[in-house]
Amino acid sequence: MLRFIYISMYTFTKKIIEDFRIFRTKKLSTIAKLLLKLKISANVMTTLSLLFGFAAVYFLFTNYVLFILFAILHLLADVFDGVLARLSHSTKFGKYYDYVTDQFITILLLLRIAYSLPDYYAYIAAGLYLLTNIIYSLNKLECPVLFARTFTIIPLLLSLPTIAYLTAGVISMYSLGLQLQYFTATKFKR
């Protein structure tokens, strides 16, 4: 029964994510085509996303307005790097670069929350999130995982840092459960 719940929830969330990805591509393709004409590639947009993410982490808890500005710019640049990649020739490097950038910023945000509050649970959430991403990376980005970056940033935009790290922790625990299920299923198939 638990396996059914895990699979159903994962399938449901993956469908929502994929539907939103298709929606973004449709709505933003005109702007993305203009960016491509200006020779702005998906990797350039990922680099901008990384820089905006660093700025957002830096201003978290020190300047709320600048944090909001850079967090939104980070998310927008990330949206556009995906749209640009789908409209042009995406590469394996680009896929890894985007993945590492997004997860690195999430882990930095969680560590910044833990350091600033100080709350050991935030460190645990950051550690769990790092563990799920190490497992995902070691398996060539193929085992199931849910990412928590957006669900970490949104509560921070609302000045709810505790909700941010708790959400990341819950998503990480869920991802670890999915990964354990994935590995036990693939191991028994062999």
> pLDDT tens digits for 144-173?
888 888 889 999 999 999 999 999 999 999
> pLDDT tens digits for 99-150?
999 999 999 999 999 999 988 999 999 999 999 999 999 988 888 888 888 8
> pLDDT tens digits for 43-76?
999 999 999 999 999 999 999 999 999 999 999 9
Q: What is the pLDDT of residue 26?
A: 79
pTM of the full predicted structure?
0.86
Domains of the chain: 2-189 (1.20.120.1760)
State the DSSP string of the chain. -HHHHHHHHHHHHHHHHHHHHHHHHHHHHHHHHHHHHTT--HHHHHHHHHHHHHHHHHHTTT-HHHHHHHHHHHHHHHHHHHHHHHHS---HHHHHHHHHHHHHHHHHHHHHHHHHTT-HHHHHHHHHHHHHHHHHHHTTT-S-----HHHHHHHHHTT-HHHHHHHHHHHHHHHHHHHHHHHHHHHHH-
